Chains A and B, each alone.
Chain A
């Protein structure tokens, strides 16, 4: 079974600074998807960014980018120019390429943005 580990229960960053959230995962599969979801205090789950394992290029969405290291099974999220609205719980998630389509989540990292 796949597992996802987020080793940082809490992180904080100053507004306008850059922060990196860590995620590692364990799988025997060669093809899969990885995601970062944001959950603000409203509890809505919002997709931030996705990465297909077969793609070597790291995904980027505006101020959000990932560092995907397939051999190391690492998938970190970098948030540049942090804004107050970035404060939230961030979940890393894994999904198999075929077979089960369920998302397997890490325990989450709570990000605080200080003004």
Chain B
């Protein structure tokens, strides 16, 4: 079965640089979520999109922005990177109908290291 695809899987950046993380949801999933998991921490919700519109916003820094495109893939843009942004970034997707309604299926994550 198709899964959520995230790219890149690993990313190393310098402080003050920018980074773009991409997420390709499971086909026919119309909702995408982004989570940030710091070392030894639980995942924290950042932002979500439904049908290309922002549906909810969590503890996402102003330096971060995200969008969902017409093909439902999503991108998380991160600017002025700080050491504290080093984390595992998960994308998850969910359908709004069917047996898996309201379950969130997670991608493998993008490990971002800021030096």
Contact = CB atoms under 8 A, between A and B. Distances in A.
Given A43-B109, A47-B103, A101-B55, A108 B42 contact: yes
Contacts of A95: 102
A44 B56 contact: no
Nearest to A105: B42
Given A91-B42, A107-B42, A102 B102 contact: no
A84 interface: no
A44 B42 contact: no
B113 to A, nearest CB: 14
Contacts of A37: 106
Contacts, number: 51
A100 B56 contact: yes
Most buried by A among B33, B37, B45, B104: B104
Interface in B67-89: 88
B102 A45 contact: no
Given A44-B108, A100-B56, A105 B103 contact: no
A8 B16 CA distance: 38
A45 B106 contact: yes
Nearest to B42: A105
A11 interface: no
A45 B90 contact: yes
* Residue picked from B33, B42, B43, B94, most chain A C-beta under 10 Å: B42
B104 A103 contact: yes
Shortest 4 CB-CB contacts between residues of A and residues of B:
A45-B106, A102-B45, A105-B42, A100-B56
Given A44-B108, A102-B48, A105-B44, 8 more contacts: A35-B103, A45-B92, A50-B103, A101-B55, A102-B33, A102-B56, A105-B43, A107-B41
8 contacts: A45-B92, A47-B103, A101-B33, A102-B56, A102-B58, A103-B35, A103-B43, A106-B42
